[in-house]
Structure 1
Amino acid sequence: MNKILVNKSVCLLILFLLIGPKWSVGQELVKEEVSFSIPKTLYFTGEKIWIDASVLQNGKASSSQVVYAELLDRQNQSVYLEKFLLEEGSVFHFLKIPGELVSDHYLLRVYTRISPLLAVENGLKQQFVTVFNPQKPPKVSLDSQARFLEGKTGSSEIRLSKHRLSPGETLTVNLSSAAEIKEVRVALRNPYLEFDSQIPSSKIYDSEVKGELIPELFGHVVHAQVDPRQVDTTKVYFLSVHGVESALYTDRPDRDGALYFDIGGLKHWNFVIAQADQNESLLDFELQSPVVKTQFKSDFEFPELVITADEEAFLQQLLLSSGIQSFYSEKYAQEPVPVVTGFVADRTFMLDDYTRFESVETVIKEYVPMVSVRTRQGKKEFRSINEFGAVFEKNPLMLVDGMPVFDSDQLAAFNPQRFERLDVLARKFFLNEQEYEGVLSFSSYKSDVGGFPLPSNAIFSQYKGIQLPIELKRSIAEMPDSSFGDFRSILYWSADPLRQLPSGQTLEIQTSQVWGAFEVVLLTLSKEGEVHEERKYFTVENNP
């Protein structure tokens, strides 16, 4: 069901009066410690990068509600961004690699809206991942290159029953560490990255991260900017978001021209539409990306991705492996948090219950007694009629899936065949500081404005919301049905919600048909709280 999100609850309003939508750098806030883990670092486009992430403040779940996962290219450009909902400071989700990326190494970064600004070392975590796109391959060298396909033996705290195995053979892993085990993963080794562990921010970035502190305590905050040289702080701007549900938000710019639309309880949407009051010009309006802005150090370099002709068979099997995706389902059919709404209709009309007409004007005249349609100076106007029969003097607030409509002529003439519902409020209505003489709100079947034309001065943007939580039906490292063949490149990952740390110090792993160098990665936690990483390597042979 579509909703119109127009007002925040009293508690939310009081809290924002106390803290404001943003902080300036220098005010005291509790620093956040971000951590994340992925099962491997070698991918193809279209494949999922599974991410297990957490955000803490003083050892407890952070008050931030949103965490970001971003892919950064070697030109320091953000090429992809996903937003995930934190539940008690943690999330397990995936970033699906877009198909248009070129084959290269990318920096996967994880952070919240404020964590890099408060403490870049603990608040911005990253590591390299390698992405192959068969349609946009990397450089090919005629010379064979020494790859880490077997490598050295590795850690003495990890003991393997064998170091060379055949596909489908069982490997016994003994973990002799006396420290607390934090994580174990077994996956294909990335031969194109000599170093694929997480990299400290101090080794990458030239200076501290600069920017505005915009805490996201209730949900995502959409930041927009108008020209500060000619800003009108009394001008109202509208932002409607459209997805599983549609909602409307308003704000006025501050003296610096900044606007902050706190989306709050609504989490998932596909696009947004921005407008100024009465469809005024938006030439100076610009949505701001939430990605963190950083500068690489002069001596920091991305490794070059080069393949050789004799690696074709190895890459072909990995391409096949990338198609083996774990099954998952949405955890919630609708939004995970109830959406606070300030709009309660006097009457709702389900339009399929009535004879369909070819214009909104006719629908209103035939079925909606509390709204009249009149023509004044050649222009159609809608007027709400209250319970006492009094007629208001101005148009009501007119909405299509939460998108304001200021042209009553255009709405009156529009064919509502793709509109599912009409909600009518025939009383005075307050949208924050704005007063309207009633509300006329249409909702489409798909929450996509039902084909209604985009207003002439509006801005449409594919600005996605927070990903819906997911729930795995099977482990991402589980052996698939035999009919599909076993082409797993991830053999075990304890961060998987359907897996857990070994109950003892012995772990049995069955290899797949994917051959090459694999690694066992053991993360332990010292008494001082420091994380230590140990690795052991084994080879699955390419049996003809």
Structure 2
Amino acid sequence: MSNPEEKITMFCDRTLYVTGERIMFSAFLQGENNLELTGPSRVLYCELITPGGEKIAGNKFIIENNSSYGSLVIPDALLTGYYYLRAYTKVMRNYGPDSYFYIRINIINPSRNEVQTGKNDNIIGKPSLNEPNLFRDEKTFRLILNKNKYLRRDTVRLSIDLSGINDFSEWRGMCLSVVPEYSFNEFDPEIPGDLFSGNTDYYPAETRGLSVTGKIKDNKNGKPIPGTPVNLSIIGKGKDFIPAQSDPEGRFFIYLPDYEGKRDLFISAAADPGCDPEILVDNDFCAVPFELPSPLFKLTVKERECAYKIAVNFQLENHFRKAAKETVAVGPDTNNMFYGNPSEIIHVDDFIQLPTVEDYFNELPSSVKVRKHQGGKYFKIIGGQAELTEYKPLVMLDMVAVDDISKILAIAPTDISRIELVKELYVKGDQTYGGIINFISKKGNFAGIDLPSSGIFINYRFFAPKEDFILSSLPINEPDTRNTVFWDPQLISNGKISGKVNFTTSDTPGKYIILLRELNAQGQICSAMAGFEVIRQIK
């Protein structure tokens, strides 16, 4: 296939971890051939995978100003072995896994003796610092320390000599990590170029944020159903309703709000009579099967010593405070409806009990009437806008659109808490409604009715919560066991960089490296490195 429209470059704080730790990363988005992007994606997909392509952990991260950062937690039960961190945007999925960015990392499980099986004894790939695209450029910038030996919890004062940089606008991103020596050994894996044979469906760029995509097909003949209304409801806090319509190929594309964490979605389709619609939702993450290089797992003597220190430090951290856990946030803490304040609310219990829902509209003063047409019934909102009669109202039950009005009319009034009405034209996306009628059940259980047969519930993962990665020292009464002593995923801010960085050493004696990595406008990765030692006492 042709080259992708976008490409990702990613860095992580180190490449040697133990299970339970966080992998911290920084990613930068550029156009193919390093051209400026006119409509860049806003969503980064980052995953921890096995060499066989199995997703171990993954999340979605906001891309702002063509850069993103975050972390993934390594599962405790993972076997020792080589794994890959990979990143891509949704539009890159049109070009397959060989267009994604990969970093190979070493993961140690101190609690298990098993090691992930490798397929050969060769180390596939070369050290990235020796690659033409990733070069150490001491002429561009240098790292200068105030000394080369420090005590525990001492302040390190780092100066970044930027005299070789003439135009900061040429720099796309920069990150700085301070980690134990031998915990970083980045390789460029040789990714096979035949991983992908092409998509039958096209994934548009997510220029506005997260999206749910998929296809509507007719179960009777297997053909796509074009022009079908597709309704998506977000259940729970931050309730929302988003309508869409399938295109000529039966595909649909729905943008979502910038929420965080997980929450339930309900998606349904309202097809014409005679159709039996089925909703096929695309996988959030790439599910194309493929094989990455899987050498036999090996560590040098120095790497083993480093891994032992990392494991001890992490165990101490878990003993004194909670280990890093995946945050399950849910976005805005609000129960407000997407339509704001309703024009009218009918509290069912405020009136004498009537036999049917229809009676509450026809027997009581109300802006909603139940009409008959060709043997069926429908709702009509009566209001001051003449255009109300030209459009059908949006009828909902607990925030889920219901097209079969007979199901609403069959609900026992005692199961309904209130009915909220919007008595004016309402435009949502590309759809216009002649008002809104939202039935709220007392138990939030859809009053026991059968929801649209085409509908499906999805426990959807929105954006990962934003994190603060500027690591600092701990109180004197707690051991400071940081394995990554310092990590700044975005050292450049608004085209500017501070030439001074201060951080505090941890309690673990030994040698450390400071690694500065930078992506320029030509797609080249420049780096500078310095080292220092933490000692118990000055001799």
- Determine which of 236, 247, 265 is the counterpart of 1:272: 265
Residues 483-531 of structure 1, C-alpha deviation per residue, up to 9 Å, x if partnerless? Answer: 4432222222343579996625xx6653212456633213256896622
- Determine which of 115, 118, 124 is the counterpart of 2:100: 124
Distance in 1 (CA, whole Å) between partners of 2:350 and 2:78 is 49
- Determine which of 441, 456, 459 is the counterpart of 1:459: 456
Q: Would you say the 8 A contact 1:240–1:272 is kept in 2?
A: yes
Distance in 1 (CA, whole Å) between partners of 2:351 and 2:77 is 46
**1:249: which partner in 2?**
243
Counterpart check, 1:139 vs 2:127:
no
**1:415: which partner in 2?**
415
Distance in 2 (CA, whole Å) between partners of 1:329 and 1:233 is 37
User: What percent of counterpart residues are identical?
Assistant: 17
Q: Would you say the 8 A contact 1:108–1:129 is kept in 2?
A: yes
Q: Would you say the 8 A contact 1:72–1:106 is kept in 2?
A: yes
Equivalent runs, 1:395-544 vs 2, <5 Å: 397-405=394-402, 406=404, 407-409=407-409, 411-413=411-413, 415-416=415-416, 422-426=419-423, 438-442=435-439, 455=451, 457=453, 458-467=455-464, 470=466, 472=468, 476-495=470-489, 503=499, 509-514=503-508, 518-523=512-517, 530-536=524-530
Distance 1:413 1:99, change over 3 A: farther
Residues 24-65 of structure 1, C-alpha deviation per residue, up to 9 Å, x if partnerless? Answer: x76xx9932423333234456665443333323424675322
Distance 1:393 1:414, change over 3 A: farther
- 3-state SS of the aligned residue for 2:315? helix
Q: Would you say the 8 A contact 1:370–1:385 is kept in 2?
A: yes
Distance in 2 (CA, whole Å) between partners of 1:359 and 1:485 is 69
Distance in 1 (CA, whole Å) between partners of 2:305 and 2:24 is 30
**2:191: which partner in 1?**
203
Distance 1:514 1:356, change over 3 A: farther
Distance 1:526 1:454, change over 3 A: same
Q: Would you say the 8 A contact 2:515–2:529 is kept in 1?
A: yes
**2:179: which partner in 1?**
187
Of 289-298 and 459-468, deviating more is 289-298
**1:37: which partner in 2?**
11
Distance 1:526 1:78, change over 3 A: closer
| Paired amino acid for 2:267 | A
- 3-state SS of the aligned residue for 1:203? coil
**1:15: which partner in 2?**
none
- Determine which of 198, 205, 216 is the counterpart of 2:206: 216
The Cα of 1:386 is off from its aligned counterpart by 1.0
Distance in 2 (CA, whole Å) between partners of 1:503 and 1:368 is 71
Q: Would you say the 8 A contact 1:248–1:402 is kept in 2?
A: no
Number of equivalent positions? 480
Distance in 1 (CA, whole Å) between partners of 2:296 and 2:376 is 64
**1:291: which partner in 2?**
285
| Paired amino acid for 2:153 | G
**2:317: which partner in 1?**
321
**2:64: which partner in 1?**
87
**2:224: which partner in 1?**
231
Equivalent runs, 1:34-113 vs 2, <5 Å: 34-43=8-17, 47-57=21-31, 58-59=35-36, 63-97=40-74, 104-113=81-90
Of 175-184 and 402-411, deviating more is 175-184
Q: Would you say the 8 A contact 1:358–1:415 is kept in 2?
A: no
| Paired amino acid for 1:126 | Y
Distance in 1 (CA, whole Å) between partners of 2:37 and 2:440 is 41
| Paired amino acid for 2:415 | N
TM-score by length of 1: 0.66
Of 435-444 and 284-293, deviating more is 435-444
Q: Would you say the 8 A contact 2:108–2:307 is kept in 1?
A: no
Q: Would you say the 8 A contact 1:273–1:460 is kept in 2?
A: yes
Residues 183-216 of structure 1, C-alpha deviation per residue, up to 9 Å, x if partnerless? Answer: 432023565x7x435x36x535535673324122
**1:17: which partner in 2?**
none
- 3-state SS of the aligned residue for 1:317? helix
Distance 1:140 1:31, change over 3 A: closer
| Paired amino acid for 1:216 | E
Distance in 1 (CA, whole Å) between partners of 2:8 and 2:297 is 28
Counterpart check, 1:387 vs 2:377:
no
The Cα of 1:542 is off from its aligned counterpart by 9.2
TM-score by length of 2: 0.67
Distance in 1 (CA, whole Å) between partners of 2:521 and 2:409 is 71
Distance in 2 (CA, whole Å) between partners of 1:357 and 1:51 is 60
Any gaps of 5 or more consecutive residues in structure 1?
Answer: 1-24, 142-153
Q: Would you say the 8 A contact 2:97–2:288 is kept in 1?
A: no
Distance in 2 (CA, whole Å) between partners of 1:91 and 1:413 is 50
Q: Would you say the 8 A contact 1:164–1:538 is kept in 2?
A: yes
Residues 148-196 of structure 1, C-alpha deviation per residue, up to 9 Å, x if partnerless? Answer: xxxxxx99966778777664355566767875594432023565x7x43
Distance in 1 (CA, whole Å) between partners of 2:449 and 2:209 is 29
The Cα of 1:250 is off from its aligned counterpart by 2.7
Of 45-54 and 96-105, deviating more is 96-105
Distance 1:72 1:404, change over 3 A: same
| Paired amino acid for 2:70 | H
Residues 354-392 of structure 1, C-alpha deviation per residue, up to 9 Å, x if partnerless? Answer: 69999994995698722357999xx99774451389999
Q: Would you say the 8 A contact 2:356–2:409 is kept in 1?
A: no
RMSD: 5.6
| Paired amino acid for 2:46 | A
Distance in 1 (CA, whole Å) between partners of 2:517 and 2:413 is 65
- Determine which of 331, 344, 347 is the counterpart of 2:343: 347
| Paired amino acid for 2:297 | E
| Paired amino acid for 1:184 | L
- Determine which of 356, 366, 370 is the counterpart of 1:369: 366
